[in-house]
Amino acid sequence: MDKKPYLIRAIYDWCIDNVNTPYVMGRVDNKTLIPAALSNSKELVFNLSPESIQNLYIDDKGISFKGRFSGNSFNIFLPLTSIVGVYAKESGDGIFFSENEKMPSGDSGLNQSKTKSEKPKPHLTIVK
């Protein structure tokens, strides 16, 4: 099961709880549903605050909501695969996803860039 929708919801809820403005950044692809006027962009950033949009829905397929652009109401859909990040406008804190976000199942994928011989160096020093 993909963790991405859970992480998106968690950052969104954290932003709302801390009175921050949740933003989502997504790449435009052939499954993205956006107004035609925005289709020339490669990446878009949307304000997901409850004051700015309606009917926010986050699931395993993506993020959908209704927003207003140039005075007209549009249904927006960002597929899960197109979402680059979710963050707070005010601080920039949030989560950004890499292109290769899929990790192998099990623990074998953790710390795969480190070999067994590499150990973290201690960062504490003795003070007398």
How far apart are alpha carbons 49 and 5 in whole angstroms? 17
pTM (predicted TM-score): 0.74
In tens, the pLDDT along 64-91 reads 999 998 889 999 999 999 999 999 999 9
Q: How many residues does the chain have?
A: 128
| Mean per-residue pLDDT, 17-34 | 94
Asked if the model's pLDDT at residue 32 lies above 60, the reply is yes
Structural domains for the chain: 4-100 (2.30.30.220)
DSSP string, 37-99: GGTT-SEEEEE--TTTEEEEEE-SSEEEEEEEETTEEEEEEEEGGGEEEEEETTT--EEE--T
